[in-house]
Structure 1
């Protein structure tokens, strides 16, 4: 049985550059680093209310990795989708999907980070209700 997300892995050709970009986006440094051949091969950030993990994997060491975004988008909870979306664009991401209201209390948007990964952001009232319970 699935118990919840543990780590979402993104891929990058330059893990150091991805680490720097995500450190700026998240306002924190990665807590874990694994090197190979003297360069960062994998890093992890712990994020948010439940300390979910975002890993960045060097494509050279990842084994088979998608060349293009797949059929899934992971959405990270934010308080203001429009502000988060605009900030990501200002930091160099490209539009994947403009903010859309999906229903009362649910707004989503997504960008493609400078490394080719789709990063989703969502305001989700249900998330806040569960967090507050």
Structure 2
């Protein structure tokens, strides 16, 4: 039934600022924007990581439901090779610590931040992710 992560969507009041912030963080520009230029976009999407997972950002005016006044929703954790360095970059770029870097069992470690647009962004070191990646590469 569930085949893998497809897209995670964040929201932002200022889609242009969020798109620029994530482009700087990820080192890539969005590959998709709707509606197409010259119209002002209501949605942008990035492809990120080894499997080109999709990170979408929706203009909050078009987002389903309401998350209330604070950060919320599911926390999607992205594997990163340098968790302390990634966390430092996020904080330097204006994100605010949500959960500090926490060592877990068996080499797992997690942290999360709230981006400047109110979304919780999780990052982690995940040995299982690395094992699957190594097996895929043979």
Q: TM-score, normalised by structure 2?
A: 0.91
Residue 101 (structure 2) aligns with: 99
| 1:72 Cα deviation after fit | 2.3
Deviations 1:38-80 (A, max 9, x none): 3221000000011100000001122323233335211001001
Whichever structure has more strand as a proportion of its residues is 1
In the alignment, is the contact (CA less than 8 A) between 2:67 and 2:73 conserved in 1?
no
| 1:105 Cα deviation after fit | 1.5
Deviation >4 Å, runs of 4+? none
Gaps of 5+ in 1: none
CA distance in 2, matches of 1:62, 1:109: 26
- Closer/same/farther in 2, CA of residues 90 and 6 from structure 1, 3 Å limit: same
Q: CA RMSD in A?
A: 1.5
- Closer/same/farther in 2, CA of residues 27 and 118 from structure 1, 3 Å limit: same
Q: TM-score, normalised by structure 1?
A: 0.94
In the alignment, is the contact (CA less than 8 A) between 2:72 and 2:119 conserved in 1?
no
- Equivalent residues, number: 133
Gaps of 5+ in 2: none
